[in-house]
């Protein structure tokens, strides 16, 4: 399976999962309400990264199960996957319970560490 096909599969899954995640986010109150310094005028669900991350993981698992991605490919991409999960985890934590400004610096640093981990993958 080509990387382009994997990307298209992940994009289609994300498009399908986003409305589902939006419904659950509204049901569980995981929304950003308008007001103060915010520019939106209606409540906006905060956990959109769940749909995107889940879609990427499902596409990769599906491609591996179908034989389109080998275990060796997965091992080579492991640092990228770990880096992406680090970034997802910090963002998800922030979506559930907004962090204080001092923690925001750590969130930015974790994103740098996550992206650095993704760049150190072996070929």
23-63 pLDDT tens trace: 999 999 888 888 888 888 888 888 888 999 999 989 888 88
CA-derived radius of gyration, the chain = 17
pLDDT at 119: 55
Q: How many CA atoms lie within 13 A of 96 on its CB side?
A: 7
Confidence of residue 112 (pLDDT cuts 50, 70, 90): low
Cα 111 to Cα 122: distance, rounded to the nearest angstrom: 20
Q: What is the pTM of this model?
A: 0.72
Confidence of residue 123 (pLDDT cuts 50, 70, 90): very low
Q: Which residues contact 104 (CB under 8 A, 6 or more apart)?
A: none
């Amino acid at each position: 399976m080509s990387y382009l096909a994997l990307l298209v599969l992940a994009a289609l899954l994300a498009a399908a999962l986003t409305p589902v995640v939006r419904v659950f986010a509204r049901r569980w109150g995981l929304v950003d309400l308008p007001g103060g310094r915010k520019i939106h005028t209606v409540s906006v669900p905060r956990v959109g990264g769940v749909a995107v991350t889940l879609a990427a993981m499902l596409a990769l698992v599906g491609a591996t199960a179908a034989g389109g991605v080998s275990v060796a490919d997965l091992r080579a991409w492991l640092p990228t996957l770990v880096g992406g999960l680090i970034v997802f985890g910090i963002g998800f934590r922030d979506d559930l319970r907004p962090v204080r400004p001092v923690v925001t610096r750590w969130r930015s640093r974790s994103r740098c560490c996550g992206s650095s981990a993704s760049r150190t993958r072996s070929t």
